A and B are shown apart, each in its own frame.
Chain A
């Protein structure tokens, strides 16, 4: 039995999975955030944007997932790539930053988060598939840093990442300018993510936006919803008796006024 309290990654199944693969099995696909994520610096701060589609191969696994991860009050991180990796990497860094904040009694800095992220990803040599755009506001003002899976970082005033990065970058390269006003900047981020949503098959659904300024952070979940489903024109309810039941068991819950966990089997044919 594997001790449950072992820390870090476990590699117990690796040999077995290698064997399965060598016998011709294809190892299963992970959920990817096929994604358009963007970020820009404007007059008073930094804005991150993301679409909300998660894919598993050609299947849309989640129509409204969250790709903007909170690191601290003054920092958010947009994630593309392997969904589990972006989620767990950002969560881990968020908890390290919170401990850092409590230990130092200071607001964590964006470079601190960037170093933690890039050192973690570099250590795993690209095997952790997290493409991140880190945005935040600290004593050095608004900052935007991208972190790639192998651990390289770039510092730029505007950036895009994910499969829809080209579509979004086309918008930024045309319309971005320094010192934009808040509303214009939010509109530009929305337009860039929308370009990804409509022109890249891996991106879709809604636009999430987060605006980080000196003393407040506004998380605008589903800021734009350009892909609302039309209501169903008719109901597809099945009539009673349409399911052929062989056997039915009833288990009453212990908090209800019944004997605890009683299982009452009933033999019924063609019920409900």
Chain B
């Protein structure tokens, strides 16, 4: 078994018209044993900027701490809000520094830019950035999520449609993944507000 599958996770980010969503499952396991049913893997960085950290839970927490530290330092040094692409390169650099002893986590960034354009970015565990016009997925259910998203995503979805497409992609993907599930959290980011939905899911 790969170490990235030890705790189980599923994260999806999708772009829409002037909006993005990012969502995750809530399970934390030790292989087949479920330990926590409310372990969120998507974190708020700024009002319109979220980061999803699928992978090994210990590294998820360490990385989240380090990202928060670096973003706070950025705020103090630069005296301006960090933009999504800045954050992506910042995390990418943090990961590539550990090229020969990596964190087992493949971060996903979702947010709105200064001009309120949707931004999503994924990377592998050593910081190779990969952008996409439609969606980014990660975690143990990523293969399932690829399939769901390829079918459900379409251009210029509004926040409500996008929320439903992303949520259905996520819920249906984790239903066929033993390592992730136990409900989901989905953040719908629009220029005015971020709506956070806690979703009902299978509890097995």
A–B interface present (Cβ within 8 A): yes
Residues of A participating in the B interface, judged by any CB pair closer than 8 Å: 2, 4, 6, 8-17, 20, 24-31, 54, 56, 59, 61-63, 65, 82-85, 87-88, 127-128, 232, 235-238, 240, 242-256, 258, 261, 272
Q: Bound state CA distance, A85 and B100, in angstroms?
A: 11
Contact at A253–B101, with CB atoms within 8 Å? no
Sample of 18 more A-B contacts, CB < 8 Å, known A6-B97, A254-B47 = A4-B69, A10-B98, A13-B101, A13-B102, A17-B3, A17-B102, A27-B2, A28-B3, A30-B124, A61-B130, A84-B124, A236-B152, A240-B164, A243-B163, A245-B200, A256-B192, A256-B193, A258-B193
**Interface check B198, CB cutoff 8 A:** yes
**Interface check B96, CB cutoff 8 A:** yes
Which of B104, B125, B160, B193 contacts A272 (CB under 8 A)?
B160
Q: Which residues of B contact A272 (CB under 8 A)?
A: 160, 163-164, 197
- CB-nearest residue of chain B to A62: B130
Give the interface size bracket for B toward A.
35 or more
Residues of B participating in the A interface, judged by any CB pair closer than 8 Å: 1-4, 6, 47-48, 55, 66, 69-70, 73, 95-104, 106, 122, 124-132, 142-143, 146, 151-152, 154, 157, 160-161, 163-165, 167-168, 171, 183, 191-200
What are 29 A-B pairs with beta-carbon distances under 8 A?
Answer: A4-B66, A4-B69, A13-B103, A15-B101, A25-B6, A28-B2, A28-B4, A28-B104, A62-B132, A88-B96, A235-B154, A237-B154, A237-B161, A237-B165, A238-B164, A242-B168, A243-B164, A243-B199, A245-B197, A248-B196, A248-B197, A250-B194, A251-B195, A252-B192, A253-B192, A254-B47, A255-B47, A256-B192, A272-B164
Q: Which residues of A contact B154 (CB under 8 A)?
A: 232, 235-237
Contact at A30–B193, with CB atoms within 8 Å? no
Contact at B161–A65, with CB atoms within 8 Å? no
Q: How many residue pairs, one in A and one in B, have C-beta atoms under 8 Å apart?
A: 167
Q: Bound state CA distance, A250 and B189, in angstroms?
A: 10
Contact at A12–B197, with CB atoms within 8 Å? no
Q: Which residues of A contact B47 (CB under 8 A)?
A: 251, 253-255, 261
Q: Which residues of B contact A25 (CB under 8 A)?
A: 1-3, 6
Q: Bound state CA distance, A9 and B130, in angstroms?
A: 22
- CB-nearest residue of chain B to A25: B3
Q: Which residues of A contact B199 (CB under 8 A)?
A: 243-246
Contact at A237–B100, with CB atoms within 8 Å? no
- CB-nearest residue of chain B to A58: B143
